[in-house]
Amino acid sequence: MRGNQNLGLILTVSQVNGYVKSLLDGDIRLKEVMIRGEISNYSDHYRSGHAYFTLKDDASSIKAVLFKTYRERLPFRPQDGMRVIVRGQISLYERDGAYQLYAWEMQPDGVGALHMAFEQLKAKLAEEGLFEPSLKKPLPPFPNTIGVVTSPTGAVIQDICNVIGRRYPCVELRLYPASVQGTSAAGELCMALRQADREGNCDLIILARGGGSLEDLWPFNDERLAREIFAARTPIISAVGHETDFTIADFAADLRAPTPSAAAELAVPDGARLRQAILELKGGAEYGIAQCLALAEARLDRLSQAVQEQAGRLLVGKEGKAAELQDRVAAAGSALLEPRRNRLAVAAGKLSALNPLAVLARGYSVTMRGKKPCLSAKDLTEGEAITTVFRDGEAQSIITKVQAEPSVKMSGRS
């Protein structure tokens, strides 16, 4: 379009914009550029998922777009006022006739993108209360079963087994395997942790991996994993990296351990110290019981002696009253019995006078017909056997003759 060769050529707006776009796209220096600037007017388009913003410095600005595919790869969320370095291509948006930066990558200027993402997520979750100390669950003092979420092939699981086996061998360990590095690690960690928690068999869960770079540890900075830790019903110890490494999982967990071995020590009591403490408690209890028994025995002796003395004093005071009561009872008994004795003696005299044995003692006898006394001679018949009862014996007789007169002649044997 130089000189007069195209002087009579009339172009449409689309043709002009298309030509300019071809010029920009054909410039090798604009195919991949790195631009430093400050973000302003940042906007996420909720339908397309693309991000639109302006990149500016003190004197100029340039429009920029970050398509959804590239935006989802960012480890941090861009914000207005953030100074960044953007890599992309300069081209023309033909519809508006405006040239702009088509961004592929973005990183904070002066601080790493991962570090920025870490701080952003940490602030977000802290504001939501996921790190609230009052919501931390206490660890069980004597766990029976401990779940370990880690790689099944690393040295971490062996370290945990060795430490717990030495300190508290009665505990049962259950491994919930998951990748601890790579793009799929965060999802696997979430699944393993959710399984360990929902089974309900574990008293405690250890989430662990060994040391590494920030990139290596990045799955433990995943927002999904932090929310799984916060939602878990089982207490969780986070033991990721070395003592100086901190991850989002450390803040979300109920307790952070500097290393996996330290997590094992925090998870269980020291069996040797526990046994020593039990022996000391046993000795103290035995001594205490012996002391209590000795004191109780001494007190019982004192009480027994006091009771005996008190009983003696009571008896001394009551002896006189007892004797007086005894005399009164004897006198009352005599007063009651004397007239009864007299009446009994009179009755006995009368009974003695009427006693047939007394009559026999004076020389009389009694004639018996069988078992009944014979009161009249008229009751007798000849040949009948009778018995004559004397004072000192009896005689058997046979009636030979019955007379009405008093003199009865009888013969028989005694």
> Beta strands 61-66 and 98-108: pairing type?
parallel
Is the overall model pTM greater than 0.85, yes or no? no
**Residue of 277 and 159 predicted with greater confidence:** 159
Same domain, 139 and 58: no
Given a cut of 70, whether residue 161 has pLDDT beyond it is yes
For position 210, which CATH number holds?
A: 3.40.50.10550
Same domain, 87 and 58: yes
By residue range, what is the domain housing residue 288? Answer: 271-305
**Residue of 347 and 163 predicted with greater confidence:** 163
List the one residue out of 188, 190, 182, 260 whose CA is nearest residue 218. Answer: 182
Same domain, 249 and 144: yes
Looking at the domain assignment, is residue 209 inside a domain?
Answer: yes
Looking at the domain assignment, is residue 29 inside a domain?
Answer: yes
Looking at the domain assignment, is residue 319 inside a domain?
Answer: no
* Least confident interval from 60-74, 97-111, 205-219, 395-409: 395-409
Query: Average pLDDT over the chain, rounded to whole?
Result: 86
Same domain, 191 and 233: yes
Mean pLDDT of 17-44: 90
Same domain, 39 and 98: yes
For position 39, which CATH number holds?
A: 2.40.50.140
Same domain, 142 and 98: no
Of 110, 142, 161, the last residue of a domain is 110
Given this model, what pLDDT does residue 411 score?
44
Most confident of 42-56, 164-178, 286-300, 387-401: 164-178
Looking at the domain assignment, is residue 59 inside a domain?
Answer: yes
Given a cut of 60, whether residue 207 has pLDDT beyond it is yes
Same domain, 72 and 190: no
pLDDT category of residue 8 using cuts at 50, 70 and 90: low
Helix H, strand E, coil C: the string for the chain is CCCCCCCCCCCCHHHHHHHHHHHHHHCHHHHCEEEEEEEEEEEECCCCCCEEEEEECCCCEEEEEECHHHHCCCCCCCCCCCEEEEEEEEEEECCCCEEEEEEEEEEECCCCHHHHHHHHHHHHHHHHCCCCHHHCCCCCCCCCEEEEEECCCCHHHHHHHHHHHHHCCCCEEEEEECCCCCCCHHHHHHHHHHHHHHHCCCCEEEEEECCCCCCCCHHHHCHHHHHHHHHCCCCEEEEECCCCCCCHHHHHCCEECCCHHHHHHHHCCCHHHHHHHHHHHHHHHHHHHHHHHHHHHHHHHHHHHHHHHHHHHHHHHHHHHHHHHHHHHHHHHHHHHHHHHHHHHHHHHHHHHHCHHHHHHCCCCEEEECCEECCCHHHCCCCCEEEEECCCCEEEEECCCCCCCCCCCCEEEC
Given this model, what pLDDT does residue 168 score?
93
Given this model, what pLDDT does residue 395 score?
85
Looking at the domain assignment, is residue 126 inside a domain?
Answer: no
Mean pLDDT of 397-401: 83
% the chain with pLDDT above 70 = 92
Same domain, 139 and 262: yes
Same domain, 198 and 285: no
% the chain with pLDDT above 90 = 43
Looking at the domain assignment, is residue 347 inside a domain?
Answer: no
Same domain, 182 and 252: yes
Most confident of 17-31, 299-313, 325-339, 342-356: 17-31
Same domain, 72 and 92: yes
Looking at the domain assignment, is residue 339 inside a domain?
Answer: no
Given this model, what pLDDT does residue 5 score?
58
Given a cut of 80, whether residue 273 has pLDDT beyond it is yes
Given this model, what pLDDT does residue 206 score?
97
Same domain, 88 and 34: yes
pLDDT category of residue 408 using cuts at 50, 70 and 90: very low
**Counted domains in the chain:** 4
Looking at the domain assignment, is residue 343 inside a domain?
Answer: no
Mean pLDDT of 213-224: 89
